[in-house]
Structure 1
Amino acid sequence: MRRSVLFLSVTCFTLAAAAQAEPRLLATASLDAHGHDLSAETAAPLENGVAGNLLGGMGSALDYAGGDTFIAMPDRGPNANKYNPVVDDTASYIPRYHTVTAKLVPSTGPLPFTLSPQLSATTLMWSPEALVYGDGKSASLPDGAPKLNGKGRFYFTGRSDGFDPKKASSNPLDARLDPEGIRVSADGKTVFVSDEYGPHLYQLDRATGRRLRTFTLPANLDVMALSAHGEDEISGNTSGREANKGMEGLAITPDGKTLVGIIQTALLQDGGAKGGVTRIVTVDIASGATHEYAYPLTNVGKDGKVKFTGISEMVAINDHELLVDERDGKGLGDGTQAVFKHFNRIDLSKAEPIDSLSGADAISAKAVTKTLAFDLVAILTKGGVDPATIPAKIEGLAFGPDVQLDGKTLHTLWVVNDNDFLAEADGRDNPNRIFVIGFDDADLPGLKKAR
């Protein structure tokens, strides 16, 4: 009798294991970083000599818009070319997002699908209200106002001096914008964009790029002493986000009612670079009401040294659980091999708000529990990708359309990189990369996609 029970148990376990397919690489693709986007009116060289419509950094953010359509977004533009430290080498690049068509096609090659992404539109982001631009005098640069401004359109800029020094960093009239997260609204007509400079959270008309709404974020995220040079901005403040490390990731719940943003690293009052806990901010879209939660970072330092990971993105699994992109800075673009690129699962319904708390010790005690859902380096390596070619900056995540493989339905997770607008890095090509991961219900229970 015991043998029968044991045999039955082993058999059931074996069948369950067989039913669960490990997450696997389904397809890879790239868009040439030597090319240009579809905004010909911005093609003129920037202050650093780089074309204003260079097709780079597309993987700072990604969202699925239904069918074969995705929205990809670069950050503040090409600033890897050193030319002016006063403005942290930033230039008057107009922030934008791209509409990309990408369809998975069954293949008999080494991977089960092929992918040929095509750029179909480029949309510049602008405000109907006049914005504050830097005059450039302190950096010996020209005025930072884009030449395209006019007729009630004031374009945002990646240049770091586009702010009002008399106001907090969350001033919505500051022209500087470093967009890092984008999500499509439930009706598909607008997009929500998160920013590192403020941090800011904006809603824009998807078709035109016009800013429609500014969400008020908690004041404890702001810095009060602003500077175009990041190190000066850090040293001049004791609270708020680290320079250029504001709201890095953005999710929208499948019901379309809540935005969830995450700060890249710990706030200054929570320890800054030495802080091991960062903040998540939920925003009720209808009312604008916010709450904050704590997320624990991982110490990836060696030999007793503290070096915490950063957060690059998050995507909603369902209306209360999220997949968080937590990573180190190793990989292509850093001259090393990728090591730590984890996508962790968290449940905010089991977390305590930290709205009124400050300091690493206070918020650490309330930090949400995280569990590893996907180890991207392991998945890509198993799929035949050389670890030396895995991008250092994995920054965009989106759940895409389901596919059929070997008679089974697989969900897809689309992963993209920020290549810093550099067509070559570490002696290799450094394109805008797309990795498509296939997984089933057992790999990510409770998944509820919006479209």
Structure 2
Amino acid sequence: MKSFACAASLLALLLAAPALAAPAVYLTPDMASPKAVSLGGASFVNHGLVGAGRLAASTRDFRGDTLGSFSGMAVTEWRRTADGAYEGKLLTLPDRGPNGVGTVAGTTPYDNRVHAFDLAFRPLADGASGVAEQLTLTPTGGFLLKDDKGHAFTGMDPGEGVVFCGQAACPSALTGPGGFRISLDGEALARLADGGFYVGDEYAANIYRFDAHGALKGVIAPVAAVSPRKYGRPALSSEIKPQSGRRPNQGFEGVAVSPDGKRLFALLQSAAVQDSGESDAERAVARLFVYDIEKNPTPDAPIAEYALELPVLRTKGDGGAPDKVAAQSELLALSDHQFLVLARDGAGLGSGSARPAVYRSVLLVDTAGATNLAGAKNDAAGAAIAPGGVLAPGVVPASQAQLINLADRAELARVGVNLDNAAPNAATLPEKLESLAIIPALDPAAPNDVFLLVGSDNDFQTARGKVGELAFDAAPKAPEGASTADNDSLVLVYRLTLPADLAAQRRF
């Protein structure tokens, strides 16, 4: 059931003041798939799932370590072959390495990196079905992410350690396996025309700019309202709940660059601490920041800031009161004001829970007409735009509409993927769908068509894991505690029709 109400504790307030904005609520599993959507006067068509591909979780990378992905991705080359198939190249970003999974306790001194792949894709024919083998991913190498001294970033949790990268507070364990290296929990990859890229971080909510070879070139610090702080000090660890700023493990999960390369966007995974209520359903108001990077690739402050109200849901899917926000896992810019946002529940292979898939979608988002919140009033330390989880009066949030339902059973079955969370197997849809990439279909008969790639982050969940000298067993567990098959990295491929002006910007 879909309705427009807030969490249960806010329901009476909303009924008394119906003019207030509120997130959409999903109390039972959402299985309907939209086919045509209009938002802001623009029309989009979802033609459905046309393929998928898997990468075995036991795959080793260019360093001989377990290849974990895909927290972020970017297609760097793309062409259509004479027989109607496609070839290309892909970069992917794993997160901070295995942590708290299987036999791994806490974080590891994993060297942060980017992986490179060759792509081959042959879409499913209309009405056809099969297993997830239409897209082939072949690892071809990669590179480490390094600071200005040539030291690799590390996935180690920094604890209370802080170093300064210019004006930005950067997390660093200072001692132990992480040493003085900068700690990074990379969750988003936004590539530039020159091959350089930005990486969104969950520890400090910094945005790091790297060149095409992975060398650090600059850091964008978050506004004070987002920077995690406790007792007036930076609280950058994922294990410390700050008094204000980003929530633990809820930093800039989405980072994107506009097609013209002039704007950088960063979206929090869910609401900042001071924009939240007591329950997990009362942290739906995420902040979306806009930076002007046309002349300065690492600006000091955003030029715009908007509120995005993420959906909330009932995790059991039984019609009871909402108890969780559908936190966003990825942001993709279609223009300087139109976006795709991946919002989802926490169910699926790798979660260890039998909870049903209630909500996981790709949303269309438009900031045209939304209130620009940028400035000292809203961006000072502790400043709230949604006190108690309710958007402040007079604030117009970004508009949104569902474009793709990622939990459509019939669609997933076309590529051999199931939603059997109570008895998961290797073909069960993973919990963590976390990355998006868009590429042209290069079809003369449909010039405005594109393919949307949706990738999963498998959290290094394999029984045969290895990072450095550490061997580990992190095979995902079934709800009853028994090990299941490895959690392979999965990429789903959807075909969309975009408005002509947006499709024209998707060229290689």
TM-score (norm 2): 0.70
For the 8 Å contact 1:354–1:363, the answer to whether it is kept is: no
Corresponding residue to 2:285 among 262, 267, 277: 277
C-alpha distance in 2 between matches for 1:21 and 1:212: 39
Q: What's the offset of the Cα at 1:170?
A: 4.8
Corresponding residue to 1:422 among 455, 461, 465: 461
2:147 is the alignment partner of 1:127: yes
State the match for 2:227 in structure 1.
Answer: 222
Q: What's the offset of the Cα at 1:320?
A: 1.6
RMSD over aligned CA atoms reads: 2.9
2:160 is the alignment partner of 1:160: no
2:415 is the alignment partner of 1:377: no
State the match for 2:72 in structure 1.
Answer: 61
For the 8 Å contact 2:50–2:124, the answer to whether it is kept is: no
SS at match of 1:66: strand
2:432 is the alignment partner of 1:393: yes
Matches within 5 A, 1:4-403: 22-40=46-64, 53-56=65-68, 58-67=69-78, 68-81=88-101, 89-105=106-122, 110=129, 114-128=134-148, 152-161=149-158, 164-165=161-162, 170-172=168-170, 174=172, 175-187=182-194, 189-206=195-212, 208-225=213-230, 230-231=238-239, 233-234=240-241, 237-271=242-276, 273=280, 274-285=282-293, 286-287=295-296, 288=299, 289-290=301-302, 291-301=304-314, 302-334=319-351, 335-336=353-354, 337-355=356-374, 356-357=377-378, 358-360=384-386, 361-363=390-392, 365-378=395-408, 380-381=411-412, 383-384=414-415, 385-388=417-420, 389-403=428-442
- Please give the per-residue CA displacement for 1:37-83, whole angstroms capped at 9, x wherever unaligned: 0124xxxxxxxxxxxx2112x11111121220111111011013366
For the 8 Å contact 2:160–2:237, the answer to whether it is kept is: no
SS at match of 2:67: coil
- Matched to 2:201, the amino acid is D
Q: What's the offset of the Cα at 1:363?
A: 4.4
Change (3 A) 1:105 1:113: farther
Q: What's the offset of the Cα at 1:446?
A: 3.8
For the 8 Å contact 2:331–2:436, the answer to whether it is kept is: yes
C-alpha distance in 2 between matches for 1:54 and 1:120: 14
Change (3 A) 1:106 1:265: closer
- Please give the per-residue CA displacement for 1:310-360, whole angstroms capped at 9, x wherever unaligned: 010010122220011111111111234433111111112221112233241
Any stretches of 5+ residues in structure 2 without a counterpart?
Answer: 1-43, 79-87, 173-181, 379-383, 421-427, 463-474, 479-483
Change (3 A) 1:434 1:69: same
- Matched to 2:419, the amino acid is P
Q: What's the offset of the Cα at 1:250?
A: 1.1
TM-score (norm 1): 0.78
SS at match of 2:368: helix
SS at match of 1:269: helix
Q: What's the offset of the Cα at 1:436?
A: 0.9
State the match for 1:439 in structure 2.
Answer: 496
Q: What's the offset of the Cα at 1:308?
A: 1.2
- Matched to 1:392, the amino acid is E
- Please give the per-residue CA displacement for 1:366-423, whole angstroms capped at 9, x wherever unaligned: 3211111111222743635312311111100010231549x54531000100111102
C-alpha distance in 2 between matches for 1:62 and 1:434: 11
C-alpha distance in 1 between matches for 2:133 and 2:229: 50
- Matched to 1:354, the amino acid is L
For the 8 Å contact 1:80–1:421, the answer to whether it is kept is: no
Q: What's the offset of the Cα at 1:165?
A: 4.8
Task: Give the percent of matched residue pairs that are identical in Structure 1 and Structure 2.
Answer: 26
For the 8 Å contact 1:403–1:412, the answer to whether it is kept is: no
C-alpha distance in 1 between matches for 2:238 and 2:191: 31
For the 8 Å contact 2:98–2:104, the answer to whether it is kept is: no
Any stretches of 5+ residues in structure 1 without a counterpart?
Answer: 1-19, 41-52, 129-151
Change (3 A) 1:428 1:319: same
SS at match of 1:55: coil
- Matched to 1:339, the amino acid is V
For the 8 Å contact 1:39–1:123, the answer to whether it is kept is: no
C-alpha distance in 1 between matches for 2:61 and 2:456: 17
